[in-house]
Structure 1
Amino acid sequence: MKELQEIRRLGDNFITVELADDNLFDWNVKLFQVDKDSALWQDMKETNTEYILLNVTFPDNFPFSPPFMRVLTPRLENGYVLDGGAICMELLTPRGWSSAYTVEAVMRQFAASLVKGQGRICRKAGKSKKAFSRKEAEATFKSLVKTHEKYGWVSPPVSDG
């Protein structure tokens, strides 16, 4: 509740939050700003995409465990956004999480990782219309955490798939 009030007080047009189904533990977050020098920002302007919509689900023991976060729309390529809209960021894992992180700080880190990872809006015919699913995102996130636990937070060798 405190986090929600803090974000609403900011009013800086970086993010806005709406509760999903009036549930304090399930937020839809609109991210309005990424680096204005990035290809993703250019894509957003060209496609009239006002924001990136994310879903953030908080566990019962938040802030001591990380939220589950995924992209809903638009469909993105690269930028550490994977199948189902899962997000590859160490700070979203129990190992990388700190209870000191705020939702705003996590969103700023996500916006930076989108640009660093050369995220783009998917424009491939057919694929760009296919919606991300929560089930797919959860499975992908579980898999990527397992991979990173094995290899660390670097890309595994291509020979390992």
Structure 2
Amino acid sequence: MKELREIRLVADGFIGAELVGDNLYEWNVKLFQVDRDSALWGDMRDTATEFILVNLTFPETFPFSPPFMRVLSPTIEDGFVLDGGAICMELLTPQGWSSAYTVEALLRQFAVSLVKGQGRIHEMAAKNRKVFSRKEAEAAFRNLVKTHEKYGWVTPPSADG
């Protein structure tokens, strides 16, 4: 509840959050801003996309375990967004997570990774309205974690931000 209150107090218009139903363990978060110099911001402007809708599901062990996070809409290509809207970020794994992270910090990092990964709004998404499914996202996330456990996570050079 404290995290939700703090997000609602973020004054810069970066994000907005609401519970899914009355469930404290599931939130829909609207990400209103990404880097205004990015292609993704241009896509948002050109398609009249006001926000990127992200779903967070918190385990009972939060903040000691990471939430499961996925993009609901729009359909995003690249930007470390996978099938079902799963997100490829080490900090969403138990090995990369710290209980010191806040939801706001997590979402700010996600906004940066969308741009660094050259995320774009899928051109056909408006026509097809393919809906990402949770099951598809969970399967994609499990597969990416297995891959990274085997081969490691790539850390971008510090010159890249």
TM-score range, shorter chain: over 0.9
Provide TM-score, normalisation by structure 2. Answer: 0.93
Q: 1:125 to 1:29 in 2, by over 3 A?
A: closer
Inter-partner Cα distance in structure 2 for 1:75 and 1:100: 30
Residues 6-51 of structure 1: CA deviation (Å, up to 9, x unaligned): 1112232100001001111100000000000000000000000000
- TM-score, normalised on structure 1? 0.93
Cα distance in 1 for residues equivalent to 2:144 and 2:9: 35
Deviation at 1:127, TM superposition (A): 7.6
Q: Which runs of 5+ in 1 are unaligned?
A: 156-161
Q: Report the identity percentage.
A: 74
Deviations, residues 91-126 of structure 1 (Å, cap 9, x unaligned): 000000000000000000000000000000001378
**Equivalent pairs, count:** 155
After superposition, the Cα gap between the structure-2 partners of 1:87 and 1:143, relative to the gap in structure 1 and judged at 3 Å, is same
Please state whether the residue corresponding to 1:45 is helix, strand or coil.
Answer: helix
Query: In structure 2, what residue type is equivalent to 1:27?
Result: W
Distance 1:91 1:81 in 2: 14
Question: Secondary structure of 2:9's partner?
Answer: helix
Match of 1:158 in 2: none
Q: Name 1:120's counterpart in structure 2.
A: 120
Alignment of 1:130-145 (within 5 A): 130-145=130-145
Q: d(CA) in 1 for partners of 2:47 and 2:10?
A: 27
Contact 1:79 1:120 in 2 (8 A): yes
Mind listing any 5+ residue stretches in structure 2 that lack a counterpart?
A: 156-161
Post-superposition CA distance 1:59-98 (Å, at most 9, x none)? 0010000000000000000000000000000000000000
Runs of 4+ in 1 over 2 A off after TM superposition: 124-128
Which position in structure 2 is the counterpart of 1:50? Answer: 50
Counterpart for residue 101 of structure 1: 101
Amino acid at match of 1:101: Y
RMSD after superposition: 1.5
Pick closer, same or farther for the CA change 1:124–1:5 going to 2, 3 Å.
Answer: same
